[in-house]
Chain A
Amino acid sequence: EADIYQTPRYLVIGTGKKITLECSQTMGHDKMYWYQQDPGMELHLIHYSYGVNSTEKGDLSSESTVSRIRTEHFPLTLESARPSHTSQYLCASSESGILYSNQPQHFGDGTRLSIL
């Protein structure tokens, strides 16, 4: 089934560890996004990508990095996790429309990250 998948769903890890959050979509979408969200609160854009080899920083300052080597894959990496990184991370994707550039975003189930 075409969808957007995030792994892991939950991660509890110690300070200073390197973490990679995985995001894959099987819908062939060009655009992909990472948001940080405390449960039920505002969505903060931290990174986005127009397509392969394109990455841009979002509105929220983040110590994370992303890569987009394949259309379907958009991993987020924290080089050294800190307690302030504790949050939920949501991945999303959208297609580039022919008539209209902006199309609905499809979200994954998120990764709940807790840094001890």
Chain B
Amino acid sequence: GENVEQHPSTLSVQEGDSAVIKCTYSDSASNYFPWYKQELGKRPQLIIDIRSNVGEKKDQRIAVTLNKTAKHFSLHITETQPEDSAVYFCAATPDSYDKVIFGPGTSLSVIP
């Protein structure tokens, strides 16, 4: 089955700097890669997702890149703000699965 690794487990950046979180997956059949943000005491919420038919997707300050050959994908946050502080989870799944495999999470702290 699918296995998703995520690095780093914790990340601190200065406000205004960029943050990058990297994930690797094991199942070459995986073709859907969502990212979730979970603020302290709140529910996880989807922030961006990408399917294997594209290599990059952007939404304002957030971008995700996918390298199918190397089986890794990354989240990029530019011009970080204190409200970006949260735990971020990557995930991967083949379309034939009905469940999504989550990475262990990255705790991002943006220092004002």
A interface, CB within 8 angstroms of B: 31, 33, 39-43, 45, 48, 50, 56, 58, 90, 100-102, 104-110
Given the interface pairs A102-B32, A109-B42, A109-B43, the reply to whether A42 lies near B99 with Cβ below 8 Å is: no
Chain B residues within an 8 Å CB radius of A42: 102, 104-105
Query: B89 touching A43 by the CB < 8 A rule?
Result: yes
Contact of B45 (CB < 8 Å), options: A50, A58, A100, A107: A107
18 contacting pairs across A/B (C-beta < 8 A)? A39-B40, A39-B41, A40-B38, A40-B107, A42-B105, A43-B89, A43-B102, A48-B98, A50-B98, A90-B44, A100-B32, A101-B98, A104-B34, A105-B34, A105-B44, A105-B100, A106-B46, A107-B45
The distance in angstroms between the C-alpha atoms of A107 and B34, with both chains bound, is 14
B interface, CB within 8 angstroms of A: 32, 34, 36, 38, 40-46, 49, 51, 87, 89, 93, 95-100, 102, 104-105, 107
Chain A min CB distance to B105 (Å): 6
B51, B96, B102: most-surrounded residue (chain A CB, <10 A): B102
